[in-house]
Amino acid sequence: MVDREVTFDFGRRARIGLAEAVLCDGKSVAQIEHIVALSQRRDHALLLTRLAPAAFAALDQGCRKVLDYDPVSHTAILGSCPAPAGPADVAVVSAGTSDVPVAREALRTLAFHGAAADEVLDVGVAGLWRIMERHEQLTSYRAVIVVAGMDGALFSVVGGLVGGVVIAVPTATGYGAAHGGTTALHAALVSCAPGVVVVNVGNGYGGACAALRVLGTTRADQQR
Amino acid sequence: MVDREVTFDFGRRARIGLAEAVLCDGKSVAQIEHIVALSQRRDHALLLTRLAPAAFAALDQGCRKVLDYDPVSHTAILGSCPAPAGPADVAVVSAGTSDVPVAREALRTLAFHGAAADEVLDVGVAGLWRIMERHEQLTSYRAVIVVAGMDGALFSVVGGLVGGVVIAVPTATGYGAAHGGTTALHAALVSCAPGVVVVNVGNGYGGACAALRVLGTTRADQQR
Amino acid sequence: MVDREVTFDFGRRARIGLAEAVLCDGKSVAQIEHIVALSQRRDHALLLTRLAPAAFAALDQGCRKVLDYDPVSHTAILGSCPAPAGPADVAVVSAGTSDVPVAREALRTLAFHGAAADEVLDVGVAGLWRIMERHEQLTSYRAVIVVAGMDGALFSVVGGLVGGVVIAVPTATGYGAAHGGTTALHAALVSCAPGVVVVNVGNGYGGACAALRVLGTTRADQQR
Amino acid sequence: MVDREVTFDFGRRARIGLAEAVLCDGKSVAQIEHIVALSQRRDHALLLTRLAPAAFAALDQGCRKVLDYDPVSHTAILGSCPAPAGPADVAVVSAGTSDVPVAREALRTLAFHGAAADEVLDVGVAGLWRIMERHEQLTSYRAVIVVAGMDGALFSVVGGLVGGVVIAVPTATGYGAAHGGTTALHAALVSCAPGVVVVNVGNGYGGACAALRVLGTTRADQQR
Amino acid sequence: MVDREVTFDFGRRARIGLAEAVLCDGKSVAQIEHIVALSQRRDHALLLTRLAPAAFAALDQGCRKVLDYDPVSHTAILGSCPAPAGPADVAVVSAGTSDVPVAREALRTLAFHGAAADEVLDVGVAGLWRIMERHEQLTSYRAVIVVAGMDGALFSVVGGLVGGVVIAVPTATGYGAAHGGTTALHAALVSCAPGVVVVNVGNGYGGACAALRVLGTTRADQQR
Amino acid sequence: MVDREVTFDFGRRARIGLAEAVLCDGKSVAQIEHIVALSQRRDHALLLTRLAPAAFAALDQGCRKVLDYDPVSHTAILGSCPAPAGPADVAVVSAGTSDVPVAREALRTLAFHGAAADEVLDVGVAGLWRIMERHEQLTSYRAVIVVAGMDGALFSVVGGLVGGVVIAVPTATGYGAAHGGTTALHAALVSCAPGVVVVNVGNGYGGACAALRVLGTTRADQQR
Amino acid sequence: MVDREVTFDFGRRARIGLAEAVLCDGKSVAQIEHIVALSQRRDHALLLTRLAPAAFAALDQGCRKVLDYDPVSHTAILGSCPAPAGPADVAVVSAGTSDVPVAREALRTLAFHGAAADEVLDVGVAGLWRIMERHEQLTSYRAVIVVAGMDGALFSVVGGLVGGVVIAVPTATGYGAAHGGTTALHAALVSCAPGVVVVNVGNGYGGACAALRVLGTTRADQQR
Amino acid sequence: MVDREVTFDFGRRARIGLAEAVLCDGKSVAQIEHIVALSQRRDHALLLTRLAPAAFAALDQGCRKVLDYDPVSHTAILGSCPAPAGPADVAVVSAGTSDVPVAREALRTLAFHGAAADEVLDVGVAGLWRIMERHEQLTSYRAVIVVAGMDGALFSVVGGLVGGVVIAVPTATGYGAAHGGTTALHAALVSCAPGVVVVNVGNGYGGACAALRVLGTTRADQQR
């Protein structure tokens, strides 16, 4: 009986302002279908992450039909997202083309929670003029999510340019001494710019959740 | 000539709202004395971190006299700190007695920038009732800096209880498989609570800078 | 000649009270079929672990027919299990849905040896109320097997709540800094709760064997 | 004010049957003196671990006088230990002379809680006859704490000989590829004997706490 | 033109008494076929290692026909092996069924060079009586190649029992903290038995070459 | 007899254009004194690296007198350096004050070989304007040695700005996830700027030797 | 809309003399096709690296037709390469057959930029005479790119023989303790020959770019 | 009572032909003095390794007087060594001056067991002519112990030149990516020369014991 295997935390959004997301890695098709069906019955919106195209394709048709699936970010959304209000307070900045899937996971997470966000693409440090041209724009956000792999040099460059919260999301881009994102992760942690904060390698969802916490819509005193 | 060795970044506070701090590890006595003298002549306030008692004692008397030194956090401050205004928007939570020095580095950094902060001590997870009693208090802050070593279980517990920004500062507390704080660092990065952000092991200064970015006093648009 | 390749340790159960299990990873189809046939001829019950569905499907039909296979835990049992006597002295607690396969390996191993056990699911630390509700129940077991991945925060939480033997079984759940279960493993080893013991990542079988040793049915003085 | 820095968990013994121990590594002289004074005022017995001779010598005379200090194991005890009742149910087995300090930490922890224990010394695997001679004796204990460094081969040898709980305590004995105890730790985790459990490198205290949990005196249902 | 890509070291056997072997991992089908054809034309015997069944099947029929392929050890031999003379001076000892492929690579390498060898199977340490029964036999060899994974406890046990050269060949058997053979490798390097020597993980070929060097047939002064 | 322990490679300068340097780490006082005396007798100039002030002070007075010692870079020179001819073709760029000792080792090595070089200090990425102001200057060198620790972001920034050879020398500046320079090293190896080359952590000597190879004065065809 | 995802750095060749190459690992078929089409429209030559045969085969026919694809090195070139002028100033030396693909990536990169280069194959250290025979030839190049895996002994051997720039390109050849090229990488970094420089594991492209920087055709002052 | 802490394995020499050596690292002064006194009373010769000069100086005068101490290798010998008979069958080859202490530990161990050995110094690979000149000499030994740090290139060079047993003893010489000898260790394990065997970093004692096993004086059948 699959049912008793899932005690879904439907109360999390009320408690900390962030809906529980379903990390699909390591879950069986039956488990995912069950969670979606359960949420649908209770009329809960749901965000699924790390749902690879092959895993999405393996879901039954009824399940697939109710999900809004994005093959770039490997995310799916059940239910509708709140319309974003006002100008964007968050930017998602990515270093190169290979970092786009992680940046998109962050953008989808922000959209799911109704937060407006801007996307800034292909501003890697090897061509420094690309990020310098965006300097003034970047100083206007309350949070900047920076998505970069390889040596993660972009984290320090952005951290030295802007005063908002800088959230580093390392990616696995690169090979050899990139060590699957570990080098970018460590670089973010020892950034020479003060106060840069870091989430796990490839965790666009976590970077977005951190930005939502910054916006303050998540805290108890804001929800009253 | 020592002078030309230091191109101090006095403009950083204007640019990103955070004063440059001097990491004293790996700097010679002469270099530290020089930086302090230079700052004093230009009437700049200055925060020095990782200044061990023995290194402080090795400074010449004139230098020591102008510094406000705290042997617990290994920090020194040149010049006066702005008076904090209003109730505390930040809390610094530590798991155990051995984590206090890092927590104090965060508190000193916040004080140096004029930010009010509360301190919550000895709320490690092995005695869970200690943190549960503080639950309601913790939900009121815009940022909670959590300082913990060993298995870093406190990061997830706090991250699951509050909606504000949760900044994990891992410490080197523990031995063997604690790997000098690496286990707590990794635990913070893979926290099961969404949106927990992380800074380097033992980096109380960085955790505080991140909190200052959250408060928004650091951004260009706030400074006008 | 395959036969001489296997000197199966049929005497182990007599010696230390635990039957030898066959770790199927890294064994060929022919070797597994041979071991099963040999055991069947000698009327020995047999537990096979890490037998993936594809590997099970590759066995010849005669072999498959005599095995009781469970695709969730990747275990197979040859022969009948002793009926469990009395109330459960062991609980198997898991943090999330992705940890269920390992938890089930532990439960199957306990059943194979005739030990009654309870299963407690989905009590991860991010929703702390879930484990707190089970506090009293958990204090009644002689051994609690805790199965968790990611940051392994559940090990310390349970270790601080109960006085029985707490056996941590880390899992590979998570990605990036989860390092395939190494972070959860290290967290278990440096748990801030005293006396938590640890087995290898994903080793539900080993966790169950440890619990059987706790129950004392394995010792020589008990077997007389 | 040192006092508010320590919220000592005096209730732990009532809750899980194990008194809180003070890990002295990373604590200042003032903090240790304070904890001892506080415990003495409340008439609590106290176990201090990892208190190096130099750190003990730095304590004030009044503090030193009330402590029973053992320089081999680096432990100190405040107050009297309960007299052990009945024959020993636990053995502490060590591989070589360099492992003795860790073995003694385990023995002191057992004594502090009133548990009788036997000590078996110098039974390393390179001279296999030494452990073989003790085979029958070892099968009589409910828990055997095995303390070994280098390649940790003793863990598997004991685990294959006895049916009681085998608790591996790896040590840092050895150099180079011993990696400060990590090789012995990993060897324990992948022991070819089933159900061997492991604690942190050098954690004699933790090994003893695990044995106390096995004896069952720690559980709520036993304490009534 | 493939031809110029291979400057095969046909003189090695003359120089150091060991024929060059072809490590097929990372070589293309065309390169392997070319090397075999070249050797055949020059009437050189050839040993190929790490030639997986799928790679062997991909070779053209002419090539496959001249090779003596063994699917267990993934080795192929071109040409005939010298007949072994006299009783075996080398033993190949393996801990468990999963270690057999590596043990067979060693045996095939010995056979290729005409050295007689005995095989001792399934003598892992968890059932210590299995190796103890072979004690006297093992003392008669000039070299004992020990093949074991997991915690590599067998290396120390054999090293403490016999006075001949003990060559440890770690294998990747095990999972989690076995780290793909690294734990067994490190255990071999810090063996508590003196003078145990070690080759790379899974390198049965290298272990056999070392034994051949021990037998002394490889040295210049022997070849005259 | 110390003499036979040192077969100094006096012919190296003739062979590859680089004089052998003496790495003093791990050498005894007697060995260093012996090498200096031997070189002096043969009228060979000599460069000593990693000679800590305490080690220099321990040398006998005669030895100290003939050495030109620099306590910042821990280098000593025996004999006179060739006068540099023409404008500088090499620049040594360092990120921060703590990187100066390594930068100075590079400068001393260049001076020892008679190569003119410019020093550019304190141009870390957190204050990006500092390196941007030097852009035009940096494009004029044939080789730029970049010395940086922490996240090594400066390597990619310089590598993206200039077309000469960019030699990254990582340093151990930083703590925690800086891992003693390993993070900066890995960052250099996966730099997003093409063709950046790397030497060992802290190896200012090696970086300078590489620059000397670039200048071409080292090659056989140049020396005729 | 794929178009806005790629801000290709067409200006890089003008700025630092090296054309931007497209690392195809981690890019989708659509992204690669888009970049090729964009470059073709703007009449830019383009080098694509790490384009596996399967990925090349998945491109649409129009795209495949305009590319000059090399299945050994996994590189593709769009547009024509400048004809190399004069004798080769660079050599690419490889240790064994398995290192050829990386060596070929370097050769293709050099050809793409119009630099003449010689290829020296199969000169691994186990047959030392092979590299010794090439000694005189090797001293004539301005840069020698050395491609080797396993223990990387060839880097030191070449570095000790020649005075030109020696660029070590470690490869993943080998298994077990080869750690996917990390051992060869570390060996290159601690080479006992002075001034050997290193690029990432398998980075033939980077090694070639470094050589191009050595030739000086990349620098601003050369381009006028 | 120290006495019962040491069950010295006096029978080892009879069993495997190698006397037990005392690794003094991690043993207290009292323990070392006790072992020496015990051995002296029983008239056993004894080899002590890793006895640093400061530890030797701390022993009581009576103990120091009976020991033959060598400060270079940190070894001490109690009792007289058998006179070596016949020409040397073993050579100890070291790469550089910093490797001498480890080489000497091997030589002292050989002398302690009465084996004649030759010493070959300073034949590092950066000056290849040094080892080439010794080629013919090296082919005459039954075992060659090669002691080298940094990149360990010497292991492959010797392994490719001689047919005797080649025993690699890696050392910690070098810094940064030398990782305390791990790089040399890994290089030895993946040597491109076949049949090179390896012992732990810095384990000159172990290398010598392996050579003694090669000489065959250790085996049971030889001792009759």
For B210-222, write each residue's pLDDT tens digit: 999 999 877 655 5
Give the least confident one: C73-82, F126-135, F176-185, G188-197. Answer: F126-135
A94 phi/psi in degrees, rounded to 5: -125, 150
Picking from B27, B180, B185, the nearest residue to F97 by CB comes out as B27
* Of the partner residues D132, D182, D192, the one whose CB lies closest to the CB of residue E124: D192
F196 touches G181 (CB < 8 A):
no
Rounded Cα gap, residues C189 and C168, in angstroms:
9
Asked if the Cβ–Cβ distance from C222 to D163 is below 8 Å, we say: yes
Residue found under tokens 């406890």: E153
Written as six digits, the tokens of C176 are: 């990036």
- Is H142–E220 a contact, with Cβ atoms under 8 angstroms apart? no
Tell which residue, G113, H72, C194, F91, has the closest CA to residue D210: C194
CB D180 within 8 A of CB D149: no
Task: Flag residues of chain H having pLDDT under 50.
Answer: 1-5, 223-224
pLDDT > 90? residue A128: no
Q: If you count residue pairs, one on E and one on G, with CB atoms under 8 Å apart, how many are there?
A: 42
G4 vs D192, higher pLDDT: D192
pLDDT at position F9: 64
Residues in chain E with pLDDT < 50?
Answer: 1-5, 223-224
In F, residues 82-121, which contact A (CB 8 Å cutoff)?
95-96
Q: How many CB atoms lie within 10 A of CB G221?
A: 12
Question: Rounded to an integer, what distance in angstroms lies between the CA atom of residue E49 and that of residue E64?
Answer: 14
- Calculate mean pLDDT across residues D33-49: 93
Identify which of G9, G50, G202 has the shortest CB distance to residue A127.
G9
Give B5's pLDDT tier (boundaries 50, 70, 90): very low
Q: Which residues of D touch E157 (CB under 8 A)?
A: 125, 128, 153, 157
The closest alpha carbon to F141, from F170, F120, F123, belongs to F120
Residue C23 pLDDT greater than 70, yes or no: yes
Nearest to D113 by CA among D212, D11, D39, D21: D212
Residue with tokens 């077969």: F7
Residue ranges of chain F with per-residue pLDDT less than 50: 1-5, 223-224
Higher pLDDT, B80 or C204: C204
DSSP string spanning H16-46? HS-PPEEE-TT--HHHHHHHHHHHHHTT--E
The SS3 call for residue B42 is: coil
Q: Which of A122, A126, A176 sits opposite G202 (nearest CB)?
A: A176
Three-state SS sequence of D136-185: HHHCCCCEEEEEECCCCHHHHHHHHHCCCEEEEEECCCCCHHHHHHHHHH
Q: Give the distance from residue G36's alpha carbon to the nearest chain E alpha carbon, in angstroms.
A: 29
Q: Which two tokens stand for residue G159?
A: 């570095």
Smallest Cα distance from B69 to chain D, Å? 17
- Closest Cα in chain H, distance from residue G127 (Å): 6
Chain H partners within 8 Å of D126 (Cβ): 9, 12
Mean of all residue pLDDT scores within chain E: 90
Instruction: Give the pLDDT confidence score for residue F3 in this predicted structure.
Output: 38
Name which residue leads in pLDDT, A63 or F19. A63
Cα–Cα distance, A185 to A169 (Å, whole number): 8
Domain boundaries, chain E: 2-80, 90-215
How far does G152 lie from chain F, in Å, by closest CA?
15
Question: H96 vs chain E: nearest CA distance in angstroms?
Answer: 23
CA nearest neighbour of G85 among G222, G217, G223, G224:
G217
C126 band by pLDDT with thresholds 50, 70 and 90: confident
Phi, psi at C181, each rounded to 5°: 105, -10
- Summarised one tens digit per residue, pLDDT across range D95-132 is 999 999 999 999 999 999 999 999 999 898 888 888 98
CA distances from G117 to E7, G83, G90, G105, G212 (A): 20, 12, 5, 12, 11
Provide the 8-state DSSP code for H50.
Answer: S
Q: Find, among D152, E93, A60, A26, the residue nearest to C7 by Cα.
A: E93
Is the Cα torsion angle C87, C90, C94, C98 positive or negative in sign?
A: negative
* Closest-CA distance of chain B to residue A121, Å: 22
Greatest mean pLDDT among D169-178, G123-132, H131-140 lies in D169-178
> What residues are paired with F75 via a beta bridge?
F70
Nearest to F159 by CA among G88, G218, H136: G218
Touching status, chains F and E (3+ beta-carbon pairs under 8 Å): no
Contact E155 D152 (CB under 8 A): no
Question: Which residue, B65, B79, B91, is CA-closest to B13?
Answer: B79
User: What separation, in Å, do the N-terminal and C-terminal C-alpha atoms of chain F show?
Assistant: 39
* pLDDT score, position D220: 60
- Chain H residues lying within 8 Å of E219, measured CB to CB: 139, 142, 162-164
Instruction: Give CA–CA dist H154/H168, Å, rounded.
Output: 9
DSSP per-residue codes, G45-85? -EEEES--HHHHHHS-HHHHHHEEEETTTTEEEESPPPPP-
| Domain at F90-215: CATH code | 3.40.50.1970
The confidence band for G16, taking pLDDT boundaries of 50, 70 and 90, is: confident
Distance CA C189, CA D203 (A): 9
| Amino acid type, B117 | A
Which of C126, C160, C190 is closest, CB to CB, to B125? C160
Residue with the two structure tokens 């093959």: A71
Closest partner CB to E186 (pick from D156, D183, D193): D183
pTM of the model: 0.94
- Chains with 3 or more CB pairs under 8 A to chain F: A, B, G, H
User: Cβ of A84: how many Cβ atoms within 10 Å?
Assistant: 15
ipTM of this complex prediction, to 2 decimal places? 0.93
> What residues of chain G lie within 8 A of the CB of F185, using their CB?
189
Q: Which of D126-140, D195-209, F26-40 has the highest mean pLDDT?
A: D195-209
Check: CB of residue E55 under 8 Å from CB of residue E86: no
d(CA D140, CA D162): 8
Decide if D60 touches B, using CB distance below 8 A: no
Beta strands H90-94 and H117-120, pairing class: parallel
* pLDDT recorded at residue G130: 87
- Alpha helices by DSSP H, listed for G100-147, are 100-112, 129-132, 135-138
- Per cent of chain A over pLDDT 90 is 73
Mean pLDDT score across all residues of chain D: 90
B188 pLDDT more than 70? yes
H130 in reach of chain F (CB within 8 A): yes
> Residue H168 in 3-state DSSP?
strand
Distance CA(H194)–CA(B13), nearest Å, equals: 61
DSSP characters over G144-184: EEEEE-TT-HHHHHHHHH--SEEEEEE---S-GGGGGGHHH
What distance in Å separates the CA atoms of residue H77 and residue H113, rounded to the nearest whole number? 11
Tell me the pLDDT tens digit for each residue of B98-124.
999 999 999 999 999 999 999 999 898
pLDDT at H12: 67
Cβ partners under 8 Å of residue C136, min gap 6: none
Q: Which of D148, D53, D35 is nearest to D92 (CA)?
A: D148
- Give residue B189's pLDDT band: very low, low, confident or very high (50, 70, 90): very high
The H or E element spanning position A170 is strand A165-170
* Phi (first) and psi of residue C173, to 5 degrees: -60, 135
- G52-81 pLDDT tens trace: 999 999 999 999 999 999 999 999 999 988
State the pLDDT at residue A220. 59
